[in-house]
Structure 1
Amino acid sequence: MKALKLKGTINHSVCRWCYGDIQLDDLCVAVKQIGFSAIDLVPPENWATLQKHGIYSSMCNGAEISLTEGWNHTEYHAKLIDNYTKYLPMMTTAGYKNVICFSGNRAGMDDETGLKNCVTGLKNILGDAEKRGITVYMELLNSKINHKDQMCDNTKWGIELVKRVGSENFKLLYDIYHMQIDEGDVIRTITDNHQYFGHYHTGGVPGRHEIDESQELFYPAIMRAIAATGYKGFVAQEFIPAKADKLDSLEAGVKICDI
Structure 2
Amino acid sequence: MANFTRREHRQHQAECIRWVERTIKVAEKLGTKYIIMFPNHFTKEGCSNFCDKYTKSDGIAAITALLMRLEPKLESSGITLLLEPLNNHGADNGMLVTDTEEGAAIIRAVNSDYVRLLLDVFHMQLMHGNLWEHIRENLDIAPYIHLADVPDRHEAGTGEINFRYLLHMLREKGYEGTICPEYLPQEDTDDSLYIWKQLLVGNDKRDSS
Which runs of structure 1 show a deviation greater than 6 angstroms over 4 or more consecutive aligned residues? none
**Cα RMSD (Å):** 1.7
Question: Relative to structure 2, which stretch is displaced further, 173-182 or 122-131?
Answer: 122-131
| Match of residue 82 from structure 1 | 18
| Match of residue 206 from structure 1 | 151
Structure 2 vs 1, CA of residues 106 and 227 (structure 1 numbering), >3 Å: closer, same or farther?
farther
Instruction: Select which of 170, 175, 180 maps to 1:231.
Output: 175
| Match of residue 67 from structure 2 | 122
Aligned length: 187
| Match of residue 257 from structure 1 | 200
- Corresponding residue SS for 1:209: coil
Q: How many Å apart are 1:188 and its aligned residue?
A: 1.4
Q: How many Å apart are 1:130 and its aligned residue?
A: 0.8
Q: Deviations over 1:79-104 (max 9, x none)?
A: 21111112213322332210000111
Question: Relative to structure 2, which stretch is displaced further, 72-81 or 169-178?
Answer: 72-81
In structure 2, stretches of 5+ residues that fail to align are 41-48, 203-209
| Match of residue 102 from structure 1 | 38
Structure 2 vs 1, CA of residues 157 and 106 (structure 1 numbering), >3 Å: closer, same or farther?
farther
Q: How does 1:180-199 map to 2 (within 5 A)?
A: 180-199=125-144
Q: Deviations over 1:92-141 (max 9, x none)?
A: 23322100001114432222111211122222321011122211001121
How far apart, CA to CA, are the structure 2 residues paired with 1:78 and 1:189? 33
What letter corresponds to residue 149 of structure 2 in structure 1? G
2:60–2:97: 8 Å Cα contact kept in structure 1? Answer: no
How far apart, CA to CA, are the structure 1 residues paired with 2:90 and 2:61? 26
Structure 2 length as normaliser, TM-score?
A: 0.82
Q: Deviations over 1:142-187 (max 9, x none)?
A: 1135511211100121111112212121111100011011111101
2:145–2:180: 8 Å Cα contact kept in structure 1? Answer: yes
Q: How many Å apart are 1:222 and its aligned residue?
A: 0.7
Structure 2 vs 1, CA of residues 121 and 98 (structure 1 numbering), >3 Å: closer, same or farther?
same
- Corresponding residue SS for 2:179: strand
| Match of residue 247 from structure 1 | 190
How far apart, CA to CA, are the structure 1 residues paired with 2:29 and 2:152? 38
How far apart, CA to CA, are the structure 2 residues paired with 1:202 and 1:239? 7
1:194–1:229: 8 Å Cα contact kept in structure 2? Answer: no
Give yes or no for the alignment of 1:222 onto 2:128.
no
Give yes or no for the alignment of 1:144 onto 2:80.
no
- Corresponding residue SS for 2:153: coil
How far apart, CA to CA, are the structure 2 residues paired with 1:90 and 1:163? 27
What letter corresponds to residue 249 of structure 1 in structure 2? S
What letter corresponds to residue 197 of structure 2 in structure 1? V
